[in-house]
Structure 1
């Protein structure tokens, strides 16, 4: 990968074929026993690393799958779809699911809280919503974005939420107060993805122009810690942030989502 020192080109280890449309989201099982994928065909696949095991195929969405999340136990899979619903799937061959519908537009993002009790969703209806996983009931909305919300993420203690979208603003929310704590209107393009550092000390966001920005939440003014640009023409996701004091980000494109419906 040009422009990022210390990283070597990834080597293809496995390829999983089954989707009939572009793959949009790929996540690891917490114990790295499986890989879960969602696609524009509206289906989810649970792929096993043991080659003798057949994959699980989950069908139910009436639109493309935009995002996936897996609970810490690995027993529950959440999916966000263009059909305006979120589904909670049991990670088994039967693929039973429960439907959650409050959003009035396509759902772009889904995320579990650290204790798996709350589900966080973001949508083209300009809202972010909090749900009870146990009851599948809507709990509260976070209101403030003026356009589609593409991404939302919980902090380590699940007390904060970061979000970003088409309005080009990154927001950090207080979950208990359901209020915006701070805003970062630093992007000139829509914000594709937001992510907290694992210890909650900073938040990162990437724009459609390939630019990544990192803010230090430990400082009183939550100043812009660094900005990385020119590495890639467009970024839609990044899985891990590390070493914020050195302004270093780790981009791990170990799983790619090619347009022909194959997971690599």
Structure 2
């Protein structure tokens, strides 16, 4: 519960191979999604499994199998119980959760898929890691659009509204896209600055992005000791930095609340995709950052949404 920080339910993990007898996952959980009506929770793990839960009771309802590698992204289509899943096997799969049914598989990425998102249209967007592409999958048409713009591995993606999305890469760039243009509308290079790693200067990798749905507010995370808030200005053609929120550790996930009154950050001592560095002073934790709507003149002390 956000207000009190109280845990409402805990599902313990189990040993590999015990998933049928044991309630929880037996390997690392990489992604989660909840249906827009709050009925279903979906969780995906390193052991190729997708588990479906009753969100209110935490009772496990079903296990979907079919991916050939770790499940890296999950998203329910808004207003439905249709679930999209992405995997390190380079595939996107479509499921009907209400009927415990597999629907179809979509192929196209040339490397592991690192992120996935969807809204109410029958389509989803994915980040393709080192294949250097972002893709929009149109499910009914069985077609895909391919977007290019980052130089490195594209590690995170989020839809802002039905026409725009944001992505982040390990070249340090944050890209703002229109779903009808194959190149970014705006690109912030070295969005979190530069770091000195083993004597080499390189940009801080972008490890998480979030958008407050149907607004102009974005958040990005790295391991640069802060989460950054951005404004999409000039008709989504410019990324304007707003605030830095101090946070120590790898920001492995970010999500705005539906009302935009807080931002949730998943912090770790290590990057979610590999063990390249370790920040010992960081805590593996969930951080809830309250956001206030700006009524008067801006204050540089507190993060505001615009």
Asked whether the 8 Å contact 1:209–1:235 carries over to 2, the reply is no
What do residues 92-149 of structure 1 show as CA deviations (whole Å, max 9, x unaligned)? 353313111100100011111x3322211111211001111224x2321110111111
Deviation at 1:9, TM superposition (A): 6.0
- 2:256 paired residue among 224, 240, 243: 240
Tell me what 2:84 maps to: 78
**C-alpha RMSD of matched pairs (Å):** 2.7
Q: CA deviation at 1:60?
A: 0.5
Greater relative contact order: 1 or 2 (C-alpha under 8 angstroms, separation 6 or more)?
A: 1
1:210-248 CA distances to partner (integer Å, 9 max, x unpaired)? Answer: 52111122368542101112x24121112106898xxx8
Shift of 1:8: 6.2
Return the TM-score normalized by structure 1.
Answer: 0.82
Task: Say if 1:56 and 1:93, in contact at 8 Å, map to a contact too.
Answer: no
- C-alpha spacing 1:119/1:242, structure 2 compared with 1 (3 Å): closer
Aligned partners of 1:57 and 1:242: how far apart in 2?
28
Tell me, which stretches of 5 or more residues in structure 1 are unaligned? 1-6, 254-258, 260-264
Q: What is the Cα deviation at residue 49 of structure 1?
A: 3.8
TM-score, normalized by length of structure 2?
0.71
2:206 is equivalent to residue 191 of structure 1: yes
> 5, 8, 23: which one pairs with 1:10?
5
Is the Cα–Cα contact under 8 Å of residues 204 and 224 in structure 2 kept in the other structure? yes
Distance across 2 between alignment mates of 1:217 and 1:64 = 33
Size of the aligned set, in residue pairs, is 242
CA distance in 1 between partners of 2:52 and 2:7 (Å)? 19
Match of 1:174 among 175, 178, 182: 178
Deviation string, structure 1 residues 146-165 (Cα, Å, up to 9, x no partner): 11111112222x22121101
Aligned residue in 2 for 1:37: 43
C-alpha distance in structure 1 between counterparts of 2:218 and 2:173, whole Å: 13
Distance 1:228 1:249 in 2: 13
1:211 is matched with which residue?
226
Aligned to 1:143: 148
> What residue number does 2:199 align with?
none
Moved over 4 A (4+): 50-54, 241-244
Secondary structure of the residue that 2:184 maps to in structure 1? Answer: strand
| Distance of 2:4 and 2:58 partners within structure 1 | 29
CA contact (8 A) 2:187 2:239 kept: no
**Cα shift readout 1:186-226 (whole Å, capped 9, x = no counterpart):** 22311111122223212211113452111122368542101
Residues 50, 216 of structure 1: alpha-carbon distance in 2 compared, 3 angstrom cutoff: closer
Corresponding residue to 1:28 among 30, 34, 37: 34
Larger radius of gyration: 2
Q: Identify which of 116, 123, 141 aligns with 2:121.
A: 116
**Contact 2:188 2:239 survives alignment (8 Å):** no
- Consecutive unaligned residues of structure 2, counting only runs of 5 or more, are 12-22, 193-202, 267-271, 273-306
Kindly state the Cα deviation for residue 18 of structure 1 after the two structures are TM-superposed: 2.3
Aligned residue in 2 for 1:4: none
1:251 paired residue among 253, 258, 264: 264
Say whether the 8 Å CA contact 2:135–2:145 is kept in structure 1.
yes
